[in-house]
Structure 1
Amino acid sequence: MPQMWSAPAADGPVDALVSLPGSKSMTNRALILAALSDGESLVRRPLRSRDTVLMAGALRALGVSVDDAGADWRIVPGELRGPATVDVGLAGTVMRFVPPVAALATGEIHFDGDPYARKRPMGTILAALRTLGADVDGDALPFTVRGTGTVPGGPVTIDASGSSQMVSGLLLAAPRYGKGAEVRHEGPPVPSGAHLTMTVRMLRDAGATVETEPDVWRVQPSTLRAGEIDIEPDLSNAAPFLAAALVSGGRVTVRDWPAETTQPGDELRHLLAAMGASVSYEDGDLTVRGGAVHGIDADLGDVSELSCVIAALAAFADGPSRLRGIAHMRGHETDRLAALTAEINGLGGDVREHPDGLEIRPRPLHGGVFHTYDDHRMVMAGAVLGLGVPGVEVENLATVGKTLPEFGELWAEMLR
C-alpha cells in the first residue's frame, strides 16, 4: 500500500521565510546545452531531484561526463555513442530532450521509463526527428534511436499543441545538426509558451543563433559555448508555499526571486493578486499576504504547471473559478484534469471537468484520502488543501522528489 502523509492543517496565520532550490526546467536545459558545447561547463546551483538525476544519467549513458558530487555540477562533453539504455522515469524533459541528442550519437540508444511514461505523447517529436534525418524506431516509449553521428536537419512542421517540449527538444539539439532546424507549428496554440521563451533565451546565451516569429523557430548550425550557467530558484515550486499565505490568512516570503525571468512561475505574483493576495517585491524577495480568497477566471495555458495548486486554492474561494487553456494537462504525469476533479470532489468539493479545463465551485470540504497518481504537482495540491481541511491524507509524499525532494521538510519548517 502507498504510504500516506497526514497533511498538517494550519492552526493560525502562517508567517514564514522560504528559500527554494534551483529550477528543474532550467537545470535540465542547462545540462543538455553543456553536453553539446565546445568544452567544460559549470552548472551553478542546479536542482538535485529525480528528474535532473535522470537527465544526468541519460547524458552519462551517451558518453558525457557529469560530475554532480558538489553543489555545482561539472559537465565535460564526450563522444556521443551507443549502445546505451536511457531511463526517462516520468520526466517529460528527459523523454523529449534526450532523443534529439541521441540522434547525434553513433549506435543504438534504447529509451524506456515508468509505466505511465508509455502513455505520454511522444509521436510528434519522434516523427519530427525522422523528418530531420534521424533513424528512430517507434512512436512511443519504449523506442530506439539508431544514431549515425550526424543529423542533416532542415525544416520540419509539427503540431506541438500537446506539449511545448516537442519544440524545445528539437531546438536544443539543432545547433549541432548539419542545417540546423526550422521548426514550424501548425495546430491549436502551443501550451507553456514561457518554457519556449526560456529555451530560446538559454540557447542564445550559449551562443546559438535563434530567430523566431509566431509559431516558427529557426536555429542556425553553430558551436555552443562552454561556460558557467546560473540556475534560478524554481518559481513554480513556490506555488504551494505562497498559496499557504492565502489559505491561512498569513504571510509567506520567498527569497531570491529574480527581478526578470523566463520562468512561468513568475506569473504567480499576478494570479495570486487576482485571487485576493497582497503581493510585494523588495530586495529580491517576493512576499504574499493573504486575505479573503476570491475565485478566478484565468487562461493558464502558458503556466499550466501552476494549475494544480491554483485549483486547490480555488476550492477555498468565496466564488466560482474557471481554469481554461489546460486541456494538454491530460497528457502530463497523469491526467491532471481528471485527477483534480476526482480528488477535490472526494473531499466534498464541486469540480467539473470541461474540454479545455476545470470549473470549481467552492463547497465545505472534509478530510479524506487525496490520491496523487505518482504526480508531484498533485502532492502539492493535496498539501494546500490539507492546510485548511483537517484530516487530509496525501498519498505518497515521496512522489514530490521528482522536482522538490525537500518539500516535506520545507513545508514543516514553514508551519513551525
Structure 2
Amino acid sequence: MTDHSETLALWPAPLASGAVDATVTVPGSKSVTNRALILAALAADPGWLRRPLRSRDTLLMADALRSLGIGIEETVSSSSAVSGLPQGRGESWRVIPGAPQAPATIDVGNAGTVMRFLPPLAALAEGPVRFDGDPRSHERPLGGLIDALRALGARVEDDGRGALPLTVHGAGSLDGGYVEVDASTSSQFISALLLSAPRFNQGIEVRHTGRTLPSMPHIRMTVDMLRKAGAQVDSPDSGGEPNVWRVTAGALLGRDVVVEPDLSNAQPFLAAALVTGGTVTIPDWPRQTTQPGDALRRIFTDMGGRCTLDDRGLTFSGTGRVRGIDADLSEVGELTPGIAAVAALAESESVLRGVAHLRLHETDRLAALTKEINSLGGDVTETSDGLRIRPRPLHSGVFHTYEDHRLATAGAILGLLVKDIEIENIATTGKTMPDFPDLWHRMLSGESD
C-alpha cells in the first residue's frame, strides 16, 4: 500500500447529530452494468441499458468497447432532471454490436471487470489489443486468465508477468473448448471466460481447479445474465458438475436491460441506520437478485438491526444496539470494509472470515482496514483469512483510502459516531458512486429522494 495523503485532499466526515431518517436512491449496479455492456456488445442485435451506473469503472468499460468498434449511444431522459434522480437514473445507453476491431489500446484504470472481462472479447478481434491501467492494476492477478486464454487458442503477450500491461493478438475468432483455471484469487476469471464464450467456435467448458472460489454470487450473476441473453449454460447451481461451467456456442439476444440499484453501494447508508439507531429506505430493492449486496439484509440484522422489504423498497432500522458478528464473508467479500467499520463501533468482538482474497483487491483491504482503524484507537488484527475486531473507543484522525472506494465509505461510517475524522481522497468513491458525498450529506440532513 502506498500513502498518498500528502497530495490528496481531506474530507471532513460528517458527524451524525442523531438518528438518521432518510430515503436514499442508490445508483445502478456496477457489476450488472459492465456485464450487460459485454453481452450487448457480443449480441446479434442492438440492445438497451436502462438506468446504467455512470462511474469511472463503467465509463472505462464503455470507452474500451468503443475503441473496439462497438457503438454506445447515451441518452438522458428529461424527466431525470425534474425528478431529482441521482446521476444515471434517468439515462439509457443503446449498444450497437459488431465484430471487435483492432488495433486498439484500452485503459482499464483499476477496474477488475475491465481488465478481466475484455481480454477474452479482444481475442475475437483481428489484430493487437493492448491493455494497461493505473499503477495498482499492474499488481492485480491476471495470470490464471492469461493461461486459460492461451489454452483456448489465444496469443497473449505479457512478458511473463501474469499481469498488466499485456497485449492480446486477436485472430478474428477463438477456438474455445475445455480449459482449467485456478480462480481462487478472483472469481472474475470464471466470469470473464463465460461472458464471451457464446462467440467462441466451440463454446467453453471451464473447470475451476483451486481450493476455494470467492464471490460465488458474482458467478451466479454472470450465469443468470447469460441465460437471459439467450445463452445455453450448464452450471453447478443448475445440477451440473461441481466447479464446472459449460456455455454452448450461439447467438446472443439484443435485450432491453433495466439495471438494478447497486446493493453493495447501499451498504454505508444501511450502516448509518444501524449505528445511529435510525431508519433508511432504499427504493427499488429487488425481491430476487444475484447481487451479493442482498446479504446485507441478513448480516446487518444479525448485527442488531431490523428490515422490511415491501413495495417501497428496503427499509432498514437500527435498534440502538450494535452487536459483534462471527461471519464467513467468502461469498460477499466486497462488503467486508463496511462490515468492519460497523464492527469497530459494536458492543462486542467480531471475527470476519473467508476473505484472504481481499489482499489482492483495489488495495490490500485487510492490511488497510487494520492500519486505519487502529490508527484511530481501534483493536483490529489480521488473521490468515480475515479480521478480528475488538471494539475500542475511537478518536479523531486521518483515514487513508489507498485509492479504494470501499475504504472511503468505511471511513464515512466511522465518522458518523467519531468526531473529526478526515477521509483522504473521498473522490475515489467515483469508481462506483460519483454522487456519494452529496448522497451522504442529504441523508444526514433528512432529505429524501
User: What range is the shorter-chain TM-score in?
Assistant: over 0.9
Q: 1:81 aligns with which of 88, 98, 101?
A: 101
Question: 1:331 pairs with 351, 354, 360, which one?
Answer: 360
Task: Name the counterpart of 2:275.
Answer: 247
Match of 1:257 in 2: 285
Of 192, 195, 209 in structure 2, the residue corresponding to residue 186 of structure 1 is 209
Q: How far, CA to CA, are the matches of 2:421 and 2:148 in structure 1?
A: 44
Q: Which moved more, 1:71-80 or 1:277-286?
A: 277-286
Structure 2: which amino acid aligns with 1:5? W
- 1:172 is aligned to 2:195: yes
- Distance in 1 of aligned mates of 2:400 and 2:180: 38
In the alignment, is the contact (CA less than 8 A) between 1:379 and 1:399 conserved in 2? yes
Look up the equivalent residue of 2:99 and give its one-letter code.
Answer: E
1:369 aligned partner: 398
Please report how far the alpha carbon of residue 186 of structure 1 lies from its aligned counterpart in structure 2 after TM superposition. Answer: 1.1
| Equivalent-residue separation in structure 2 for 1:283 and 1:35 (angstroms) | 33
**One-letter code aligned to 2:106:** V
Report the CA distance between 1:279 and its aligned residue: 1.3
Asked whether 1:343 is paired with 2:363, we answer no
Shift of 1:141: 0.3
Residues 219-298 of structure 1: matches in 2 within 5 Å? Answer: 219-291=247-319, 292-298=321-327
Note if 1:305 corresponds to 2:305. Answer: no
Q: 2:11 aligns with which of 5, 13, 21?
A: 5
The residue type paired with residue 271 of structure 2 is A
- In the alignment, the residues of structure 2 paired with residue 88 and residue 190 of structure 1 have an alpha-carbon distance, to the nearest angstrom, of 24
Q: Tell me the residue number matched to 1:102.
A: 122
Distance 2:175 2:25 in 1: 44
SS in 1 for 2:270: helix
Q: Tell me the equivalent position of 2:432.
A: 403
User: How does 1:146-165 map onto structure 2 within 5 Å?
Assistant: 146-165=169-188
Q: Assess if the C-alpha contact under 8 Å between 1:65 and 1:75 holds in 2.
A: yes
What is the TM-score normalised by the length of structure 1?
0.99
**Distance in 1 (alpha carbons) for counterparts of 2:181 and 2:136:** 24
Which residue number corresponds to residue 196 of structure 1?
219
Amino acid at match of 1:61: S
Structure 1 distance, partners of 2:136, 2:43, is 33
Q: Which amino acid aligns with 1:72?
A: S
Aligned twin of 1:21: 27
Q: Does the 8 Å contact 1:258/1:284 carry over to 2?
A: no
Using the TM superposition, give the Cα deviation of residue 281 of structure 1 relative to its aligned residue in structure 2, in angstroms. 1.4
Deviation string, structure 1 residues 232-289 (Cα, Å, up to 9, x no partner): 0000000000000111111111111001000000000000000000111121411111
Q: TM-score, normalised by structure 2?
A: 0.92
Gaps of 5+ in 1: none
Secondary structure, aligned partner of 1:145:
strand
Q: Which one of the candidate residues 63, 68, 74 is aligned to 2:74? A: 68
- The percent identity for this pair of structures is 59
- In structure 2, runs of 5+ residues without a counterpart are 1-6, 77-90, 237-241
Distance (Å, rounded) in 1 between the aligned partners of 2:346 and 2:108: 38
CA RMSD of aligned residues (A): 0.7
Q: CA deviation at 1:405?
A: 0.2
In structure 2, distance between residues paired with 1:287 and 1:349: 30
Give the corresponding residue for 1:38: 44
2:74 & 2:379 partners in 1: Cα distance? 45
Contact 1:259 1:284 in 2 (8 A): no
Q: Which amino acid aligns with 2:147?
A: A
Give the 3-state SS of the residue equivalent to 1:54 in structure 2.
Answer: helix
Aligned residue identity for 2:295: E
Does the aligned pair in 2 maintain the 1:183–1:217 contact within 8 Å? yes
Number of residue equivalences: 416
Q: Name the CA distance, whole Å, in 2 between partners of 1:186 and 1:99.
A: 21
CA distance in 1, matches of 2:235, 2:120: 20
SS of the aligned residue for 1:237 comes to coil
